[in-house]
Amino acid sequence: MAEILLAVRGLSRRFGGLLASDAIDLDVACGETHAIIGPNGAGKTTLIGQLAGDLRPDSGSIRFADQDVTRLDAPLRARRGLARSFQVTSIFRDFTALDNVALAVQAHAGRSFRFWRPARTEPTLREPARAALESVGLGARADVRAASLAHGEQRQLEIAMALATEPRLLLLDEPVAGMGPEESQRMIRFLATLKGRRTIVLVEHDMDAVFTLADRISVMVYGRIIATGAPAEIRGNEDVRRAYLGEDQA
Amino acid sequence: MSVSRRTLVLVVGGVLLALVPPVAALTSQPFYLDLVRRMMIFAIAAVSLDLILGYGGMVSFGHAAYLGIGAYAVGIPAFHGVENGMIQWGLAIVASALVALVIGAISLRTSGVAFIMITLAFAQMLYYLGISLETYGGDNGLRLAARSRFGGPIDLRQPAVFYYLVLALLVLLLALGSRLVGSRFGMVIRAARSNEARARAIGFSPFRYKLTAFTIAGAAGGLAGALLANQTEYLTPDFMHWTRSGEIMFMVILGGMGTLFGPVIGAVALLLLEDVLSALTEHWQIILGPILILVVLFAKRGLWGLLVGPEAADG
């Protein structure tokens, strides 16, 4: 197998009586698209929160690019190349689309203790931002206020913000949630163009998206990963059918 | 080339402010010079609060603390015979910045109502500290024997000279502020206000940027306090009372939060209303209250938004 970019070992997190993450082991190889699926309440969002650094695990470790990042907070992990989208769209609503992406570029360029030069005219921030907007198909909407963008466009904007920083790992939390069929097809097609070029952890309920995009799939149930494998294996796995797919496709 | 409404308002406003001393002299109404100078001093305080309140989303309810520190930084040295303005005003700025750094370092670990309450509590602590300073007049305060002394032509005993110095400092603050809010630093604090989780997720650690902004705002507030002590030639712990903090916040909201020039208009409007209404009735706050409520409800960017229209958001 290719080099491992993200290695999770024994990750556990308890909320009161609920073991939301139960000794999770997970390996994500460089360049793969790794989907995490599971019924509601399986602990997918808790897992993503711990991977991104918003939640501290009770025990276990997370290694990213051969370094232990278990104790690093979200901004530090982001600066090391871990970019994410949120389940509920999270953007800077009062800023233009281009500003949003330029801020992401700025966060990774470092040196934000600059008080004089107007950030909106800095080519080193604006040009990569514009390129990232073009790549997700929002080039023509660069100067529109983010709050005025359509829902699907806002989701694309989030992806552009993540991509603009040239991340080593992309954490996508339900990227097609709340989208109409056409929008979600467009998003899936776009994500497919990233396949192989980016390492992606994809949490998604939309099975269409998962089976189109994923190289490997991990299935979570009650805080545990019960199976990991190629899409064909997962489809054929009896435990998975019983625990999850069966419910959907009965 | 067509002149934008924003430019027009700024030019007219600047000219009006510059014309106050000659007009007051011609009409023998020195009172107006005094009033407008006071407005501009509060404008400096309000602009500095707006940097953190409007742009940074930090609802600091203790901004009057810096007015008090700045005033005491003039009053206490003067009491001991140190009347050099560079020393007094320098002390006002540095001491306010340090206090803001400490208050910010603690209060910025919280947010929402807790943040409001902590900043309020710190300011009230300083207020009671002022009252306990028996040497410096306790709650009666301290009379300033002489205004701060600077060399050369800057003689604050000349009302017009003092006036133009305040105007110059206000213009300087607005110029620095407009660079700041558009800079990389400014973009970070505005982004953190807009969506802190997103700011963290793209790699910003908002705390240190917010703390820096909080400290800068405190320093500018301290300068306003030094000016205010010279304006009134008198200082009391009341400079730091929480109602004073509320007044500065009203100025920001009335003028337009998150706009640079709005708080200037807010300061002018609030002090003017106070002056006009208190001449009409002793219960003038009964009239002021509804006016504030109407502005908050119906003018999105405050008075500045009403004057300037859609361009208001640009500062």
pLDDT confidence of B313, banded at 50, 70, 90?
low
pLDDT per residue as tens digits for the range A174-231: 998 888 888 899 999 999 999 889 999 999 988 889 999 999 999 999 999 999 999 9
3 state SS of A153? helix
| Contact between B182 and A120 using a beta-carbon 8 Å cutoff | yes
Average pLDDT, whole number, for chain B? Answer: 94
CB of A163 within 8 Å of a chain B CB? The answer is no
Q: Which residues contact A235 (CB under 8 A, 6 or more apart)?
A: A211, A245
Averaged over B148-168, what is the pLDDT?
A: 94
d(CA A235, CA A227): 11
Averaged over A9-19, what is the pLDDT?
A: 93
| Contact between B204 and A75 using a beta-carbon 8 Å cutoff | yes
CB of A117 within 8 Å of a chain B CB? The answer is yes
CB of A90 within 8 Å of a chain B CB? The answer is yes
More confident call, A205 vs B227: B227
Average pLDDT, whole number, for chain A? Answer: 91
- Helix and strand numbers, DSSP H then E, in chain A: 10, 10
Domains along chain A with CATH numbers: 1-81+168-250 (3.40.50.300), 92-164 (no CATH)
pLDDT of residue B155: 93
Which of B184, B195, B198, B204 best tests the A interface by mutation, with the highest count of A CBs <10 A?
B184
Q: Which amino acid is at A51?
A: L
Distance from CA of B3 to the nearest CA of A (A): 22
Contacts of A117 in chain B (CB under 8 A): 183-184
Contacts of A78 in chain B (CB under 8 A): 200-203
Cα-Cα end-to-end distance for chain B:
21
C-alpha radius of gyration, chain A, whole number: 18
Q: Which amino acid is at A171?
A: L
Among candidate residues A85, A99, A190, the one with its CA nearest the CA of residue A146:
A99
Q: DSSP label at A241? A: I
Contacts of A107 in chain B (CB under 8 A): 199, 202-204
pLDDT per residue as tens digits for the range A98-138: 999 999 999 999 889 999 999 999 999 999 999 999 999 99
d(CA B219, CA B221): 5
Q: Is the pLDDT of residue A250 over 50?
A: no
CB A50 within 8 A of CB A11: yes
Of B179, B199, B204, the CB nearest to A116: B179
Averaged over B4-27, what is the pLDDT?
A: 94
According to DSSP H, which parts of chain A are helical?
44-52, 74-79, 97-109, 123-135, 151-163, 181-194, 207-213, 231-236, 238-240, 246-249
Distance from CA of A23 to the nearest CA of B (A): 25
pLDDT of residue B315: 52
Averaged over A77-94, what is the pLDDT?
A: 94
| Contact between B185 and A114 using a beta-carbon 8 Å cutoff | yes
Instruction: State the complex-level ipTM.
Output: 0.91
Averaged over B133-145, what is the pLDDT?
A: 92
CB B225 within 8 A of CB B239: yes
CB of A93 within 8 Å of a chain B CB? The answer is yes
Joined together, the tokens standing for residue B278 give: 């208190």
CB B185 within 8 A of CB A113: yes
| Contact between B197 and A165 using a beta-carbon 8 Å cutoff | no
Joined together, the tokens standing for residue A8 give: 């999770």
For B229, counting Cβ atoms within 10 Å of its Cβ (0-12 exposed, 13-18 middle, 19+ buried), the class is buried
Averaged over B255-277, what is the pLDDT?
A: 94
More confident call, A176 vs B91: B91
Of A108, A117, A118, the CB nearest to B203: A108
Q: Residue A64 forms beta bridges with which residues?
A: A6, A67
Distance from CA of B138 to the nearest CA of A (A): 40
d(CA A8, CA A201): 13
pLDDT confidence of A245, banded at 50, 70, 90?
low
pLDDT confidence of B132, banded at 50, 70, 90?
very high
pLDDT confidence of A247, banded at 50, 70, 90?
low
Contacts of B198 in chain A (CB under 8 A): 86, 90-92
CB B173 within 8 A of CB B220: yes
| Contact between A75 and B185 using a beta-carbon 8 Å cutoff | no
Q: Other C-beta atoms within 10 Å of B139: how many? A: 14
Give the containing element (helix H, strand E) for A5: strand A4-15
CB of A92 within 8 Å of a chain B CB? The answer is yes
Q: Is the pLDDT of residue B117 over 70?
A: yes
pLDDT of residue B285: 84
CB B96 within 8 A of CB B88: no
CB of A99 within 8 Å of a chain B CB? The answer is yes
Q: Is the pLDDT of residue A246 over 50?
A: yes
Averaged over A141-165, what is the pLDDT?
A: 94
Averaged over A64-90, what is the pLDDT?
A: 94
CB of A75 within 8 Å of a chain B CB? The answer is yes
Annotate B243-293 with DSSP letters as a single string: HHHHHHHHHHHHH-TT-SSHHHHHHHHHHHHHHHHHHH-TTTHHHHHHHHH
Distance from CA of A141 to the nearest CA of B (A): 20
Which of A86, A115, A170, A172 best tests the B interface by mutation, with the highest count of B CBs <10 A?
A115
pLDDT of residue A236: 86
Cα-Cα end-to-end distance for chain A:
35
d(CA B77, CA B65): 18
Q: Which residues contact B298 (CB under 8 A, 6 or more apart)?
A: none
CB A83 within 8 A of CB A169: yes
pLDDT of residue A49: 94
Which of A105, A112, A120 best tests the B interface by mutation, with the highest count of B CBs <10 A?
A112
pLDDT confidence of A65, banded at 50, 70, 90?
very high
Distance from CA of A4 to the nearest CA of B (A): 23
Joined together, the tokens standing for residue A7 give: 């290695």
Question: What is each CA distance from A129 to A135, A143, A146, B201, in whole angstroms?
Answer: 10, 12, 14, 17
Distance from CA of B234 to the nearest CA of A (A): 35
Of B187, B203, B209, the CB nearest to A79: B203
pTM: 0.93
pLDDT of residue A249: 46
pLDDT of residue A17: 87
pLDDT confidence of B220, banded at 50, 70, 90?
very high
Distance from CA of A119 to the nearest CA of B (A): 5
Joined together, the tokens standing for residue B61 give: 């309810």
| Contact between B188 and A111 using a beta-carbon 8 Å cutoff | no
